[in-house]
């Protein structure tokens, strides 16, 4: 099973490298164009979280992405060097109490757009799973 990987330092300007990586793996794994939007948005959200919250924008810390296809599923793992977070309690940003909060939308988007979200390493690693038809 072939896996594609990239590692970027924790600077927001590296999102362009992540976008290029998404285009590269979409092409390499011959993914359906319908999936591109879901994958792209959720992976970029995961990387933003890793850079901002996980690695706290420290350029000497890295975010690693690994993409692969297995059976009828496509997966992307995003890992940072942070301490993780409590992923068991993700508030719904659409609820009235949370509507004005600045944080929490990225995880909600990731959860909504992917078919499964797997947290490891205390939340410092997330795997986004997309079912292929």
Q: Give the domain extent around 32.
A: 3-131
Number of domains in the chain: 1
Bin 84: left if φ > 0, else alpha if -120 < ψ < 50, else beta.
left
| pLDDT given for residue 105 in this prediction | 75
Both tokens of 27, joined, read 């092409």
| pLDDT given for residue 16 in this prediction | 97
Residue found under tokens 């896996």: 3
| pLDDT given for residue 92 in this prediction | 73
CA dist 102 → 23, 52, 55, 94, 99 (Å): 29, 13, 19, 12, 8
In 3D space, the residue among 62, 79, 74 whose CA is nearest the CA of residue 25 turns out to be 74
Could you list the mean pLDDT of each consecutive 10-residue stretch along the chain, which spans 133 residues? 96 97 97 94 96 96 98 97 88 70 78 96 97 91
User: Roughly how many angstroms between the first and final C-alpha of the chain, as a whole number?
Assistant: 19
Give me the CATH number covering residue 111: 3.30.565.10
The model carries a pTM of 0.93
């Amino acid at each position: 099973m072939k896996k594609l990987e990239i590692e970027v330092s924790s600077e927001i300007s590296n999102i362009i490298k992540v976008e290029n990586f998404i285009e590269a793996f979409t092409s390499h794994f011959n993914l359906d164009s319908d999936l591109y939007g879901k994958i792209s948005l959720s992976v970029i959200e995961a990387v933003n979280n890793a850079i901002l919250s996980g690695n706290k924008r420290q350029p000497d810390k890295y975010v690693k992405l690994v993409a692969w296809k297995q059976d009828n599923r496509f997966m992307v793992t995003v890992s940072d060097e942070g301490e993780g977070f409590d992923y068991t309690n993700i508030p719904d940003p659409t609820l009235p109490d949370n509507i004005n909060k600045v944080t929490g939308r990225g995880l909600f988007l990731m959860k909504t757009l992917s078919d499964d979200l797997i947290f490891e390493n205390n939340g410092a690693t997330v795997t986004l799973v997309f079912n292929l038809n």
